[in-house]
Amino acid sequence: LYTMRLNKHLIMQNAIDQQTILNKILLLSNQESSLQKILNQSIQYIIKAPFCQLQSKGAIFVMEKDDTLVLKSQYNLSPELLNYCSKNGVKVGECFCGLAAEKKEIICKIYSEEENVKQSKCKNDYGHYNVPILYEGDVLGVLVVYLSANHTKSQLEIDFLESVANVLALIIHKDTKTRESLLNQTVLRELQKFSGIGTWGGNIATGIITASQEVFDIMGYKFNEIQLSEAFFLKATHPADVEKLTEAIEKAKTGVPFELEVKQYKKDGTLANVINKCKPIINSDGTITEITGALIDVSKIRNSEAELNEKQLLIEGILKASPDPLYLLDLETNEFVYCNKAMEGVIENNPIFSTDYPKKGAQLFREHVHPDDLDVYDQMNYTLRKSDDIYTLRFRTSIFGDRYHWIEQKSLVYHRRENGMVHQVLLLSKDISEKVHASNRVKKLNSDLARQNRAIKKVNRELDQFVYSVSHDLRAPLASVLGLVNLSRLNPNIKELKEYMVRIGVSIEKLDGFIKDILDYSRNTRTKVESKPINLKALFMGIIENIKSINNPDIELDVKCDEKTIFYGDERRISVVFNNIISNAVKYADYTKSKRFLKVRISTTKNTCEFYFEDNGIGIDKE
């Protein structure tokens, strides 16, 4: 009987101790502490349970999204085990903790003295309980506690540990949801700040409105600087919008939501474009006691729209007023989207354009580009799709008339799709034919001037050389004549005077020859070339006879002429050239030689004429 009473007392005491520990753990969850602190304290409560044979150490793992158990809390784990568990975590199915999570049931491992404890990843000399923490069938974590020496497995311990795991599941689940809720609230709050959208709620009975910071910002006030109410918003509304806002609010009180844009005065007196969205809260009994809504300041959007409209009107005015053909091209459909009056005039006056020219305009334009310019024209269309810069191209086209015109076309990206692809381009075509032709004429004139300049420079060089040579050659015989005249004055000897006269005659003949050369040069530069048939042999013989009659040279002349075809040329100029060559041969004959000669060979064919001269005169110095 005593034993029975003692057992009952022990059972009651164990139940009390279990409930006390569970209560302590539950009380921890009500404190404003981190999950880790709650779990740390919970482990200490668990391992100190007087009815369990446990060592003073344990750990709690929490399940992450990638099916990995992460060490969240521990008490007195060995450094080696702590390092292993906290470094990489424990995958589901690995080690005893992973197996407990996988099987969703308690694992009790007791080591015998003969077992090699070192083979176990969770090293312990005696054994351990691995208890899965489950919430509605999902594994939230694993509790592991370590057994004392000579431990005997008991149902009491298992029931206790299951109860503890259930309480821990509630704590972990609550923490997870709390963190998710806080995260969502934070994200929503940040999104609200970023978007500038204000939220508000109003009590229909009192008319008082509570609102977020953004509502006060929109109205130009500090947070809670004033008491917001229905009357306040109506008073701040522009007179032109008061009636429609009042009507919308009254309908909202009957359950009709609204979205309305009105102008409202801010604290500093400026006007803001505000969109007010309102939704009534309908109670379960069908009554409406509160309405909620959002306030959005769209002033910047409306101002931007107004500026954009002004620019659009300005651009349209400029396009219409342009005297040059201008059109807007859709690169996706290759159609004309817009043409100004100048371009419309081109279309009306050109029969190649039909009534559906917008669809075929770009194709027709290309068909009338000069064939030599097609590659450049196609390259422009490719470049337009990739560049934001103004692209300028010059090409020839017959689209503006019955002949090819030079066109300078400037193109600019007008619109892009959201993906960045060019959608429409604006093209301005200007007829620059006169400009191009004038430029070509200028180039030709410059080329002609450059050629004439080179010719003048050449003539100037020749003239300088000629003047130098003439002055030298004229002064030499004149100086000789003057010298002989002076000698004649001083010498009364008749015989010597006659010799002086002979020398004077020779010098004058030389001077006459130089003057004749100058006249020939002058005639050559002024006389037009006259080509006519020439009897070359007769020409040569006439030149030779003339030289013989003047100089009576002691030179053997050998002339042979093989005229297979008639030779055409300027007889006077050829006569001058040949006369100079033969005269020089006679003039510079080497009289130290016993036999002096001059050979002349002439040979004509259908396409060529060769002249060959050979003499054995004194020659010309190499210098």
> Residue 247: its pLDDT value, please?
93
Distance CA 410, CA 133 (A): 74
Decide if pLDDT at 116 tops 50: no
Q: Which of 250, 251, 215, 208 is nearest to 231 (CA)?
A: 208
The SS3 of residue 400 is: coil
Give the model confidence (pLDDT) of 495-526 as tens digits.
Answer: 777 777 777 777 777 677 667 767 766 666 66
Tokens of 343: 């371009």
Q: Which of 269, 311, 279, 277 is nearest to 297 (CA)?
A: 277
Cβ-based neighbour number of residue 89 at 10 Å? 19
Sorted by where each begins, the domain ranges of the chain are 14-181, 197-303, 322-431, 433-526, 530-623
337-354 burial, b at 16+ Cβ within 10 Å, e below that, comes to bbbbebbeebbeebeebe
Q: What is the pLDDT of residue 2?
A: 43
**Is the domain 530-623 a CATH 3.40.630.10 member?**
no
Nearest to 219 by CA among 269, 261, 277, 260: 269
Q: What's the pLDDT band for 195 if we cut at 50, 70, 90?
A: low
Q: Is domain 433-526 given the CATH code 1.10.760.10 in the classification? A: no
Lowest mean pLDDT among 207-216, 296-305, 397-406, 441-450: 397-406
Considering the domain 197-303 in this protein, what is its CATH number?
A: 3.30.450.20
Query: Token match 């004055």: residue?
Result: 489
CATH no. of 14-181: 3.30.450.40
For residue 416, the model assigns a pLDDT of 78
Quote the pLDDT of residue 119. 45
25: number of Cβ within 10 Å: 22
262 confidence band (pLDDT: 50, 70, 90):
very high
Q: At 245, is the pLDDT very low, low, confident or very high (cuts 50, 70, 90)?
A: very high
Minimum mean pLDDT among 296-300, 358-362, 578-582, 608-612: which range?
Answer: 358-362
The answer to whether 37 and 26 have CB atoms below 8 angstroms apart is: no
Which one has a higher pLDDT value, 228 or 4?
A: 228
Domains 322-431 and 433-526 share a fold: no
DSSP 526: H
Mean pLDDT of 88-99: 87
Higher pLDDT, 482 or 612: 612
Is the pLDDT confidence value at 110 over 50?
A: yes
The model's pLDDT over 354-402, given as tens digits with 9 standing for 90+, comes to: 555 555 666 777 788 888 988 888 777 677 666 666 778 888 888 776 6
| Selection from 65-79, 394-408, 549-563 with the highest mean pLDDT | 65-79
Contact 143, 46 (CB under 8 A): yes
CA angle 356, 360, 365 (to 5 degrees): 130
Tell me, what's the pLDDT at 7? 61
Encoded tokens for 550: 């003047």
CB 242 within 8 A of CB 231: no
pLDDT at position 410 over 90: no
Burial class (CB in 10 A: 0-12, 13-18, 19+), 600: buried
Across 482-507, average pLDDT = 73
Which pLDDT band holds residue 1 (cuts at 50, 70, 90)? very low
Q: Give Cα separations from 56 to 43, 49, 197 (angstroms).
A: 9, 10, 55
Mean pLDDT of all residues in 137-141 = 90
Domain 322-431 class? Answer: alpha beta
- Is it the case that residue 243 has pLDDT exceeding 60? yes
More confident residue, 187 or 93: 93
Mean pLDDT on 426-436: 85
Q: What percent of the chain has pLDDT over 90?
A: 13
Give the residue ranges of DSSP H helices in 129-195: 155-195
Tokens describing residue 455: 């010719």
The share of the chain scoring above pLDDT 70, in percent, equals: 83
| Tokens representing residue 378 in the block | 């196609």
First-to-last C-alpha distance (Å) of the chain:
157
Q: How far is CA 414 from its chain centroid?
A: 17
Q: What is the mean pLDDT of the chain?
A: 80
